Amino acid sequence: MQEAEKLIERYYEGETSVAEENLLCEYLSGKNVPARFEAEKAILGYFASEKKKKSVWLIPNNLKWIASAAAVAAIFLAILFSNQPSATSYAYVDGKKITDKDKIFALAQTTVGNLMSGMNEVEIGLENIQSGQTIESQLDVFAGMEF
């Protein structure tokens, strides 16, 4: 009993360890506790009962149904408003969108034709380099210059 009084005194001074507090709780939860320890029994009993309580948060059933319905609606709206690629052909020419297939085809043929005529110019330039005419004409230009 004197040991219990010392532990209670140390408890109020904040000097007890967890093991000592557990020992004190065990003593005060017993049946043969003197009446003078009723206040301490109530205090430590309260803390012990609070430790045993578990907070359980239950979700109401109607909230589950509402959340499910919201998820289904969100998925439906996402599918409905998603950007699906269109099957139309289009091209941008000089910053303008053209959707007429015949006009796009004609422009593509013109572009390919321009590439082919450009190839002729490249071939002529290569022939000149291979024959040495271009190099000789450029050397003649530099030969006439004074430095």
Q: What is the DSSP letter of 86?
A: P
pLDDT on residue 126: 76
pLDDT on residue 29: 76
Burial of residue 63, with CB atoms counted within 10 A of its CB: 0-12 exposed, 13-18 middle, 19 or more buried: exposed
* Domain ranges for the chain: 2-52, 91-143
pLDDT on residue 71: 94
pLDDT on residue 143: 79
pLDDT on residue 75: 93
What token pair was written down for 33? Answer: 């506790």
pLDDT on residue 74: 94
- Which pLDDT tens digits describe the chain residue by residue (147 residues)? 678 788 888 888 888 888 888 888 887 777 777 777 777 777 776 555 555 556 666 677 788 888 889 999 999 988 888 876 666 777 888 888 888 888 888 888 888 877 777 667 777 777 777 776 767 777 777 777 776
Angstrom distances, CA of residue 24 to CA of 11, 44, 45, 103? 9, 8, 10, 95
